[in-house]
Structure 1
Amino acid sequence: MKITKSGSAEWTGSIKEGKGTVSTESGALNAQPYGFNTRFEGQPGTNPEELLGAAHAACFSMALSNLLGAEGITPGRIETTSKVTIEKKGDGFEITGVHLVTQIVADAEESVLMEVAQKAKTGCPVSKLFNAEVTMEATIG
């Protein structure tokens, strides 16, 4: 099975004074503003790193639910944040780290949940996209 989903972006102007919008095929994002100020200066709007973080958190949570289901465990709740770090390196920037923080509420032994969470971290399709180190901390309950 092959599925293709799309997102799009439009940019006008120079890097610091310019601005852009980002949209998704589903319409979840529709001309959401982004720019230098939203990426590096904390201004309202989105940025590529938080979009990657949201995608990663969603993908990991789904992968974890799937793997738990394969173990006969139905989670009551999985709450995940993916923290994406970007740093200036030489003449440009690079994503240097991605850290998952997840809370798993499920009726199962902690050791089993932690093992399955580790498998989800490495097996999640979005985790596989990152060249940066992907780390995780998980809590149960």
Structure 2
Amino acid sequence: MDNALFEATIHNTDGVNGTAYVEGPGALSVETSHPLNDSSGTNPEELFGLALTTCLNATIESLLKARGFQKRSKVSAKVQLRREEDGVGFYFQVYLFAAIEDTEMEQAESIVKSAEKRCPVSKLTQGADTIVISVVPYEH
């Protein structure tokens, strides 16, 4: 941890029904709730989707800038909570949709593939068969 460029300390003492927060003055605090009930609050599915789409899109933007492009990109996710086939336990099935404006699909796929290898959050999930990334046309 001596070479860390950034460090955040996050706490959760309530599980999926309560509050999770980032340590520090004025830092993020979120109400959490189970995704299968009607209570207000966010859940791990939404938080994971936010982390992955934000990081992957920031990496795509970085690659576009490094290549001299001034194009917009966006990444959307559908994160599903599913039960394991044996009925015990759960897992996330994630579908990511990445788009780069005014870019041929082949070039966009190459950039997204590079971004997936470089994105710190994607690095945590590389090789997961429960994450599917598709490159789609950019829509305004």
Name the counterpart of 1:91. Answer: 88
Deviation (angstroms), 1:42: 4.6
Name the counterpart of 1:9. Answer: 12
Q: Considering only aligned residues, what root-mean-square deviation do their CA atoms show, in Å? A: 2.5
Name the counterpart of 1:103. Answer: 99
Cα deviation digits, residues 25-61 of structure 1 (max 9, x gap): 475632x22123xx12354210011000001010011
**TM-score normalized with structure 1 length:** 0.75
Give the counterpart letter for 2:20 in structure 1.
V
Give the counterpart letter for 1:138 in structure 2.
V
- Give percent identity, aligned residues only: 29
* Uncovered stretches (5+) of structure 1, i.e. residues with no partner: none
For 1:1-141, list aligned pairs within 5 A.
1-2=3-4, 3-11=6-14, 19-25=17-23, 27=26, 29-30=28-29, 32-36=30-34, 39-75=35-71, 77-89=72-84, 90-95=87-92, 97-106=93-102, 108-130=103-125, 131=128, 132-140=130-138
How many corresponding residue pairs?
130
**TM-score normalized with structure 2 length:** 0.75
Contact kept, 8 Å, 1:84 with 1:99, in 2: the verdict is yes
Which has more strand, going by share of residues? 1
* Uncovered stretches (5+) of structure 2, i.e. residues with no partner: none
